Amino acid sequence: MSQDLPAELFRIIFSEINITHDDLKSLRLVSKSWTDHATDLLFHRICLSRLKKDRDAFFNITSCPHLAKCVRVLVWYELGNDIPHWYLPDEAPHYDDMPESLESLHEGPDTRLFYVELASQIKDLFWFSLQFALDRDTDTNNAVKGELKKLEDFMAQF
């Protein structure tokens, strides 16, 4: 019976009511005809940012022709600072600006280790970070050039 419905009705039904991304993922499993309609809506709008997980998701989608053809809107999420402004790894933490939830950590003996580990984990989240290059590297010009090279390599794929 659902095969008898015109494609326009599927699109209206799937987009007009409050259907979440998770619902669309489930609808793709119902039948072949539902898969195509739900996939079109699910991948209509994709997001990209400086986060590695967003970049990887973007490339996963663009590497699958049946998903890439569904993309109509690409949203770039501009994130605030890559690294917290209260922490620069070569300096002592700026406790005046530190979030209240972390203020008590400056009293313990493992504080420096905590901040070094935190900076390392934060750096691993991003594939492109001019802020990190400016804050971390003593040779700022080379660090910025390195980050811009990452962006050029990304754009060269298109």
Closest CA to 83 of 42, 109, 53, 121: 121
Looking from the CA of 91 toward its CB, the CA atoms found within 13 Å total 11
What's the number of CA atoms in the CB half-sphere (13 Å) around residue 3?
2
pLDDT value of position 106: 56
The backbone region for 77, taken as left when phi is positive above 0, alpha when psi lies in -120 to 50, beta otherwise, is: beta
Q: In this predicted model, what pLDDT tens digit does every residue of 68-119 receive, in sequence order?
A: 999 999 998 877 665 555 454 455 555 555 555 555 555 566 666 776 677 6
Q: Quick one: pLDDT at residue 58? A: 92
Q: Please give the structure tokens belonging to residue 55.
A: 């970049």
CB 118 within 8 A of CB 87: yes
For residue 105, give both structure tokens.
């950590």
* Calpha distance 109→10 (Å, rounded): 61
The residue-averaged pLDDT of 17-43 equals: 88
106: region left, alpha or beta (phi > 0 left; psi from -120 to 50 alpha): alpha
For residue 48, which of 156, 151, 122, 120 has the smallest C-alpha distance? Answer: 151
More confident residue, 138 or 66: 66
Question: pLDDT confidence of 144, banded at 50, 70, 90?
Answer: confident
